[in-house]
Structure 1
Amino acid sequence: MANLLDYLDWRGDLTLAQAPFNEVDNLILAEVSFVDFGGIVPPPGMGESVPLRTAAEAFFARFSQGEKIDMGVLVPDAIPEMLRKMAESRRFGDMGLNCFVDWLDAERGEQFAALAVETGDGRVYLSFRGTDDTLAGWKEDFDLSWLPEVPAQKKAAQYTAEVARQYPRRRLLLGGHSKGGNLAVYAGVYCPAAVQRRIDTVWSNDGPGFRDDFLDLPQHRRLGDRIVSIVPKSSVVGMLLEHEEDYTVVDSDQLGFLQHDGFSWQVMGDHFLTLRQVTRQAHLSDLELRAWVRTMTPEQRGKFVEAMFTVLSASGAATLTDLKADSFKAVGAMVRAMKDLDKETRDGLLKFMGLLFRSNLLLTLEGIQEESGKRGFRWGRKRHRPEEEEA
């Protein structure tokens, strides 16, 4: 099956004048904000846009020829190859990049990065980076479950207003993958009304949802029919918390949580291969995780999140790559930190980890069964095709 890289090979020679902007283009631009364009693309209000192919050339010049570019644990390693193909294409090579910001405060658990892309059809796509390799960025994802607003959301709304002022006559597209999808929706809802009227579409690519009261806001209702939520068939990340009622389910060639990787989403022509609904196990896992979160007050959720990241940070690691590189040392330090927690917090942390592990295991087993069924093997009963599965 085909993915984003295949799409660039197939359709990279078609400009937006020949083939209009589509949902696959959206995900590509959502992923490109994971590239570190610091010192290459100017911050808001600090200079002219840089052609994508020029920015890509400057980025790759930082590395030795043949050197593997490590994007970290959570960020797909295919992104540099995607950038290379974009730079070589007629479709993306001349797009202008501007307004790059990259903010990280590890002590306060804050991470925010974004990029503005002049698409060439008179619009600007605001790409919000999702969760990166840092523990700070990961912590902010969990803070979504109990805080009315996390710092990255506030920065996203401010960034949108600032970029809109820099491009006063342009229509806007907002998008991101993972946490970046959440930030795109939040920014679209909370940006000034005059800016919101200029937004054509907001894309949330497997982004986590929101607290209950967010979807009832009048600002959200005004924007609701322009929000496009896309999730893979076994989505867990994108189904967390409350979500827009309408979402598109896409097929993936990965299993379990690995379907969160946008490079696993299946492409057919100028669109994703879609299914009617998420798989049964993804739906059940989503319900179980939501039910568990709802048993806690916001204060209890906050205490839990702080405890979890105290444990993770006990190893001295700043990134998931650090944890992976010295996992033996990290586990020892985290076990010692767990002992310092009160019994209620420790039990809650263990239960949450158990839910995540079991959800991922069941989703993976379900995916293996589904893939084997496609190859003609029997599992004791006939399997429905994914598009026929019941929620």
Structure 2
Amino acid sequence: MANLMDYLDWRGDLTLDQAPFNEVDNLILAELSFVDFQGIVPGVGEGEGVPLAEAGEAFFARFPEGEKIDMGVLVPDVIPEMLGKMAASRRFGSVKLNCFTDHLDVGRGEQFAALTIETGDGLLYLSFRGTDDTLAGWKEDFELACMPEVPAQKKALRYVRDVAKQYPRRRLRLGGHSKGGNLAVYAGVFCPAAVQRRIEAVWSNDGPGFHEDLLDLPEHRRVAERIYSIVPKSSVVGMLLEHEEDYAVVDSDQLGFMQHDGFSWQVMGDHFVTLRQVTRQARLSDMALREWVRAMPVERREKFVAALFDVLSASGAVTLKDLKADSFKAAGAMVKAMKDLDKETRDGLLNFVGLLFKSNLLMTLEGIQEETEKRRAVRKKAAKKKEEEA
């Protein structure tokens, strides 16, 4: 099956005038905000947009020719290659990039980055970066489960207001992958009504949901029909908390948690290959995680998240790459930090890790079984056809 990279080969020669913006374009632009355009693309209010081909050339000039660009432990390493294909294409090469912002505060556990793309069809796509390699970014992901609002959401809302002011007559698309999808929806719901009326679509690509009260607000109802939620068949991240029930389920060539990688989502023409619903194990995992969250009072959740990231950062690591680079030292520091926790918090951490491990294992096994049954069906069909021809 095909993916985002194949799509760029197929559709890269078609401008948005020739083939209108679609859900696959959305995910590509959502992934684009993972590129570090600091010093290349102007910030909000700092000047005119830069053609993507020019920005790509400046980005690649930072690295020795032929060097593999390391995006971190979990951010797909194929993103620079995607940027190269976009820069060489008629579809994306001449679109302009602007309003790049990248904020990281390790001490406060804050991570936020966004990019605005002038797509060439008269609209803007505001791309919110999802969870990157920083522990601060992961901490904010977990805080979504225990706080009514996290710093990145406030920054996303301010970003939409500022960009809308800078481009007063443009209609808007908002989108992101993972946490970026949550930020796009949050900003779309709470931006001023005048800005909200300019929003054409809000895309959440396997982004975590919200607490129940947000879905009942009039602000959400005003934009609900323009929110498009997409999750892979074994989604975990995108099924967390409450979310729009009218979501699309896409097929993936990965198993378990690895389906969160948007480059594993299957593409046919100008759309994703969709399924009727998420897998049975994804639904069970979703229920188990929700029950775990709901059973814990808000104060305990806050304490749990703080303890979890105290343990992870005990070695002095700032990113997941840091943890991986000196895993022996990191493991020793984390074990010591675990011992310093009270029993209730330590048991909670172990239960949570066990729940995630079990969920991933069961979804992986479910995926293997599904692939085995598919291959068996293909062989059976081929054998029947051969028999009929004989």
Q: The TM-score by the shorter chain falls in which range?
A: over 0.9
How far the C-alpha of 1:377 sits from its partner, in A, is 7.8
**Cross-structure match for 1:356:** 356
**Cross-structure match for 2:225:** 225
Identical-pair percentage? 80
**Cross-structure match for 1:124:** 124
For the residues of structure 1 that align with 2:166 and 2:174, how far apart are their CA atoms?
15
SS in 2 for 1:375: helix
RMSD: 0.9
**Cross-structure match for 2:155:** 155
SS in 1 for 2:376: coil
For the residues of structure 1 that align with 2:167 and 2:361, how far apart are their CA atoms?
47
For the residues of structure 1 that align with 2:185 and 2:40, how far apart are their CA atoms?
27
Q: Deviations over 1:63-120 (max 9, x none)?
A: 0000000000121011000000000000000100000000000000000000000000
The gaps in structure 1 that reach 5 residues or longer are: 379-391
Q: What residue identity is the alignment partner of 1:241?
A: L
Q: What residue identity is the alignment partner of 1:54?
A: E
SS in 1 for 2:115: strand
**Cross-structure match for 1:381:** none
**Cross-structure match for 1:4:** 4
Q: Deviations over 1:14-34 (max 9, x none)?
A: 000000000000000000000
**Cross-structure match for 1:253:** 253
Q: Give yes or no for the alignment of 1:310 onto 2:310.
A: yes
For the residues of structure 1 that align with 2:298 and 2:119, how far apart are their CA atoms?
41
- Write out aligned runs for 1:173-184 (5 A): 173-184=173-184
For the residues of structure 2 that align with 1:189 and 1:76, how far apart are their CA atoms?
29
**Cross-structure match for 2:66:** 66
For the residues of structure 2 that align with 1:265 and 1:136, how far apart are their CA atoms?
27
**Cross-structure match for 2:274:** 274
Q: Give yes or no for the alignment of 1:263 onto 2:263.
A: yes
Q: What residue identity is the alignment partner of 2:68?
A: K
For the residues of structure 2 that align with 1:367 and 1:95, how far apart are their CA atoms?
39
Runs of 4+ displaced beyond 3 Å = none
Q: Does the C-alpha gap of structure 1 residues 373 and 20 become closer, same or farther in structure 2, counting only changes over 3 Å? A: same
Q: What residue identity is the alignment partner of 1:125?
A: Y
Q: Deviations over 1:217-251 (max 9, x none)?
A: 11001010000000000000000001111100000
Q: What residue identity is the alignment partner of 1:376?
A: R
**Cross-structure match for 1:79:** 79
How far the C-alpha of 1:316 sits from its partner, in A, is 1.0
SS in 1 for 2:100: strand
Q: Give yes or no for the alignment of 1:339 onto 2:336.
A: no
**Cross-structure match for 1:32:** 32
For the residues of structure 2 that align with 1:236 and 1:261, how far apart are their CA atoms?
12
Q: What residue identity is the alignment partner of 2:66?
A: G
For the residues of structure 2 that align with 1:289 and 1:377, how far apart are their CA atoms?
34
**Cross-structure match for 2:321:** 321
For the residues of structure 2 that align with 1:263 and 1:87, how far apart are their CA atoms?
18
| TM-score where L is the length of structure 2 | 0.96
How far the C-alpha of 1:196 sits from its partner, in A, is 0.3
**Cross-structure match for 2:102:** 102
Query: Would you say how many aligned residue pairs link Structure 1 and Structure 2?
Result: 378
Q: Deviations over 1:122-179 (max 9, x none)?
A: 0000000000000000000000011111000000000000000011000000000000
For the residues of structure 1 that align with 2:369 and 2:257, how far apart are their CA atoms?
16
- Write out aligned runs for 1:16-55 (5 A): 16-55=16-55
Q: What residue identity is the alignment partner of 1:322?
A: D
For the residues of structure 2 that align with 1:39 and 1:215, how far apart are their CA atoms?
38
How far the C-alpha of 1:325 sits from its partner, in A, is 1.3
**Cross-structure match for 1:368:** 368
Q: Deviations over 1:267-308 (max 9, x none)?
A: 000000000000000000000010011001111100000000
For the residues of structure 2 that align with 1:178 and 1:289, how far apart are their CA atoms?
17
For the residues of structure 1 that align with 2:61 and 2:305, how far apart are their CA atoms?
40
**Cross-structure match for 1:384:** none
The gaps in structure 2 that reach 5 residues or longer are: 379-390
For the residues of structure 2 that align with 1:22 and 1:29, how far apart are their CA atoms?
11
SS in 2 for 1:376: helix
Q: What residue identity is the alignment partner of 1:166?
A: Q
For the residues of structure 1 that align with 2:187 and 2:75, how far apart are their CA atoms?
23
For the residues of structure 1 that align with 2:321 and 2:205, how far apart are their CA atoms?
24
Q: What residue identity is the alignment partner of 1:278?
A: V
Q: What residue identity is the alignment partner of 2:218?
A: P
Q: What residue identity is the alignment partner of 2:8?
A: L
How far the C-alpha of 1:328 sits from its partner, in A, is 1.5
